[in-house]
Amino acid sequence: MRIVSWNLNGLPSCLKSGAFGPLLEYQPDVICLQEIRTRAEPVVLEGYWHYWNHSVRDKYSGTAMLLREEPLSVYCGLTDDFDVAEGRAITAELQGFYLINAYVPNSQQSFYRHAYRREWDAALQAYVHELLYDKPVIICGDFNVARESIDIYPENIRKRSIIPREG
């Protein structure tokens, strides 16, 4: 099975530019998209089942999953009362495993967002552990992790984007 994960930074611009063309050369079975930044639900690719988890704010975050085969089930979010506003996770139950597509929040420089990120990480971990009781889990997506300063572009935001490692 071929799974592709891609942070689009905006689905509308990718559709307009034809950016999906080269992706099809890989003949993916599943395409996980992050940061779709739209509330529209266009048919991105014929022959794929399309599932969406939108942010309540237009042009902000959101995830989508395109699958060649119909999944057994699809769930948006991590829990019923967490991550409902930003559309950051979508899970497909497939025959032999669960596939989670995650767009993990960026901590930014705000203490509020950093605290939210920590809550989000804990919720994701608990969610994965819950699913593992049933079958294996594959997680893909944009984890908003910069291991080293070289991982951040452009250079002028490197210093403010790296949070010291927590003990």
156: pLDDT strictly greater than 60: no
Q: Model-level pTM?
A: 0.85
Query: Which residues 6+ apart lie within 8 Å of 75 measured at CB?
Result: 90, 91, 93
Give me 69's structure tokens: 């085969």
List the catalytic residues. 103, 142
DSSP string, 22-77: HHHTT--SEEEEE----S-----STTSEEEEE--SSTTS--EEEEESS--SEEEES
Give tens-digit pLDDT for 58-104.
777 889 999 999 999 999 999 777 766 788 999 999 999 999 999 99
DSSP string, 123-159: HHHHHHHHHHTTS-EEEEEE----SSGGGSSSGGGHH
Distance in angstroms (rounded) separating the CA atoms of residues 105 and 126: 17
Distance in angstroms (rounded) separating the CA atoms of residues 92 and 90: 7
Q: What's the confidence (pLDDT) of residue 58? A: 79
Query: Which residues 6+ apart lie within 8 Å of 2 measured at CB?
Result: 26, 27, 28, 29, 30
**Stretch 108-132: mean pLDDT:** 89
If one compares 24 and 163, the residue with the highest pLDDT of the two is 24
Report all structural domains of the chain as residue ranges with CATH numbers, in order of start.
3-161 (3.60.10.10)
